[in-house]
């Protein structure tokens, strides 16, 4: 069974499914995808994600504010903790640093990132990190604020093997998305080959970054299978091995998602 460890279920293009999320998730289940971690990009989106999780036993949620999301008021660590508690989050994020764009000032991103890391440490929850063009600062803040016994994940990883190894040493997992299937992604496929399999996760980041052969279309959770197939080819192992190990990794990192270990979600 596959796990989509990072998807934005509140942002999917549901037009092929008559505007209904249920058949989109069912299409994924028919392909063997049996767990979904729905990721928040703003605290305002938490109630909607919690409602999705209430309706689907195989959906869990993470609470956070994306580094590039513009907001009138910055939440502090206590506000993030309160939101995560209220809605039964199993992780904090996505959060992080994205210096590729300037829509949110870098210092604001840093302060926001630290608030999320502090919240994750207080709640003893793993953190879901988005990082782009901010390698050294991301790693430095991870080392300073994250408990390696709890750790987290660098999602939709696009950096080099050295950063991946440093993150793994800090207790992190590396999650690969549909980008790994792109013709231009030779360096990322090298990461897929070299990182220990027990430190890999797979994701769609849907509705973004649909894998080959669906590139250019709005991404869906069911296409996490293509990510797993690419990793299997690169490593010379079976897709079943990738599915089983990444699923085990997912539950190791996110114990609140494990059967019988759901987070205490008052909306469920």
Q: Is residue 266 part of a domain?
A: no
Q: Is residue 262 part of a domain?
A: no
The domain tally of the chain equals 1
Task: State pLDDT tens for residues 102-135.
Answer: 799 999 999 999 999 999 999 999 999 999 999 9
> For residue 262, is pLDDT > 80?
no
Q: Is residue 230 part of a domain?
A: yes
Q: Is residue 6 part of a domain?
A: yes
pLDDT of residue 57: 96
> For residue 254, is pLDDT > 70?
yes
Q: What is the pTM of this model?
A: 0.95
Task: State pLDDT tens for residues 159-169.
Answer: 999 999 999 99
Annotation-wise, does 240 bind a ligand? Answer: no
Q: Is residue 10 part of a domain?
A: yes
Annotation-wise, does 6 bind a ligand? Answer: yes
- For the domain that residue 51 is a member of, what is the CATH number? 3.20.20.140
> For residue 263, is pLDDT > 70?
no
Task: State pLDDT tens for residues 33-79.
Answer: 999 999 999 999 999 999 999 999 999 999 999 999 999 899 999 99
Annotation-wise, does 155 bind a ligand? Answer: yes
Token pair recorded at residue 162: 């050295």
Tell me which residue range forms the domain holding 168.
2-257
Instruction: Specify the residue for token string 């989106």.
Output: 45
Annotation-wise, does 8 bind a ligand? Answer: yes
Task: State pLDDT tens for residues 168-211.
Answer: 999 999 999 999 999 999 999 999 999 999 999 999 999 999 99
Residue 143 — pLDDT band, cuts 50, 70, 90?
A: very high
> For residue 96, is pLDDT > 60?
yes
Q: Is residue 265 part of a domain?
A: no
Q: Is residue 157 part of a domain?
A: yes
Q: Is residue 188 part of a domain?
A: yes
């Amino acid at each position: 069974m596959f796990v989509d460890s990072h998807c934005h279920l509140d942002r999917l293009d549901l037009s092929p499914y008559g505007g209904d999320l249920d058949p989109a998730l069912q299409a994924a289940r028919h392909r063997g995808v049996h767990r979904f971690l729905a990721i928040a990009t703003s605290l305002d989106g938490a109630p909607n994600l919690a409602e999705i999780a209430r309706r689907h036993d195989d959906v869990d949620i993470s609470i956070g504010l994306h580094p590039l999301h513009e907001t009138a008021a910055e939440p502090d660590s206590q506000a993030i903790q309160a939101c995560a508690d209220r809605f039964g989050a199993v992780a904090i994020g996505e959060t992080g640093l994205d210096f590729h764009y300037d829509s949110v000032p870098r210092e604001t991103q840093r302060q926001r990132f630290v608030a999320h890391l502090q919240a994750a440490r207080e709640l003893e929850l793993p953190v879901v990190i988005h990082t782009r063009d901010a390698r050294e600062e991301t790693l430095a803040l991870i080392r300073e604020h994250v408990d390696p016994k709890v750790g987290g994940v660098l999602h939709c990883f696009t950096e080099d093997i050295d950063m991946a190894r440093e993150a793994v040493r800090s207790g992190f997992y590396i999650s690969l998305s549909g980008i790994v299937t792109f013709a231009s992604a030779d360096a990322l496929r090298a990461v897929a080959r070299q990182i220990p399999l027990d430190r890999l996760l797979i994701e769609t980041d849907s509705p973004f970054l649909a894998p080959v052969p669906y590139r250019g279309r709005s991404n869906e959770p069911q296409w996490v299978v293509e990510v797993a197939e690419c990793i299997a080819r690169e490593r010379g192992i079976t897709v079943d091995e990738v599915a089983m190990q990444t699923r085990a990794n997912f539950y190791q990192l996110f114990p609140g998602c494990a059967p019988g270990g759901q987070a205490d979600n008052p909306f469920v």
